Structure 1
């Protein structure tokens, strides 16, 4: 058995996923579309975002289509490069909180940005898989909505989930 096959056959300790997409804006513009609560509220947090995504800030997100405002902890923020957030996990998480990392990589001499979103901390159970797959769908939708908003001013989320 080769190393690649052995890695693919290894038992998982937790579920994680990564989604990505290209945004035709600079890393700075793309980073700000996520970090700035006013911009994030235009295409993602249908009930509004409060607080800039930077360590120490009091941040909450609210989704009108999934009622309930909840706190978001900012673990790390590197301007135009990376944001790491966490929020309270469920009984299906491997830790007290799930962790999501946004990475912003310049493409085409910085005229475009590859946005990568990675989330981890899900148990390898049916409930953990449902949580991970559901959030994977949510972050993929967020990336598509962000692209439509920052490139064309179109709100894709309105009415999408409800």
Structure 2
């Protein structure tokens, strides 16, 4: 069984505002990528995300962007000892407008190998995406950066 997970939460802002907070590198850098994001999330682009807790910019390949609905990304999985070499996981973010002008965001990541390293990496990323959703909610609803100073 390959490892995968889905996390989700509701943000009290319209879907267009929540979606823009993910695709805009300046906004993403304000609450999530503690070392900064470079490049707007657009289909076919490769952008970079940098985190103080994992220094060094990560290339993020943008597979698909449907405005205010879906973002699909691919990025390198943590290295392991598998002879097959490096591989990628796929992140799918969906955005659903709710009746009360809130937005339901779901983040699904899949594709880790069925080994101990894949399990550990999937758990770590599940933690990271959950933190991203919490940080995005507090940023959009209250203008507070939860991650500021958290990792350094």
Structure 2 length-normalised TM: 0.92
Name the larger-Rg structure: 1
1:52 pairs with one of 40, 46, 51: 40
Can you give the 5+ residue segments of structure 2 that lack an aligned partner in the other structure? none
Task: Tell me by how many angstroms 1:56 deviates.
Answer: 2.6
Deviations 1:52-84 (A, max 9, x none): 111132311111232101111000000000000
Q: Post-superposition shift, 1:100?
A: 0.4
| Match for residue 123 of structure 1 among 113, 121, 126 | 113
Q: CA deviation at 1:153?
A: 0.2
Question: Which of 37, 42, 49 matches 2:30?
Answer: 42
Matching residue within 120, 123, 135 for 1:145? 135
Most deviating of 142-151 and 63-72: 63-72
Distance in 2 separating the partners of 1:60 and 1:77: 16
DSSP 3-state at the match of 1:158 = coil
**Bigger mean CA deviation after superposition, 56-65 or 90-99:** 90-99
Work out the CA distance in 2 between the residues paired with 1:161 and 1:46.
Answer: 8
Match of 1:3? none
Flag as ranges the 4+ runs of structure 1 deviating above 4 A: 92-95
Instruction: Provide Cα deviations, 1:75-120, integer angstroms capped at 9, x if missing partner.
Output: 00000000000112234599721110110011125x1000000000
Q: What CA deviation, in whole Å up to 9, does each residue of 1:38-60 have, x standing for no partner?
A: 10000000111011111132311
User: What is the SS of the residue equivalent to 1:46?
Assistant: coil
Q: How many residues align?
A: 149
SS in 1 for 2:132: helix
| Alpha-carbon distance between aligned partners in 2 of 1:67 and 1:91, rounded to the nearest angstrom | 16
Of 41, 53, 72, 1:84 maps to 72
For residue 160 of structure 1, report the CA deviation from its aligned partner: 2.4
- CA offset at residue 22 of structure 1? 0.2
Unaligned runs of 5+ in 1: 1-11
Superposed, 1:1-162 pairs within 5 Å as 12=1, 14-92=2-80, 96-109=87-100, 111-162=101-152
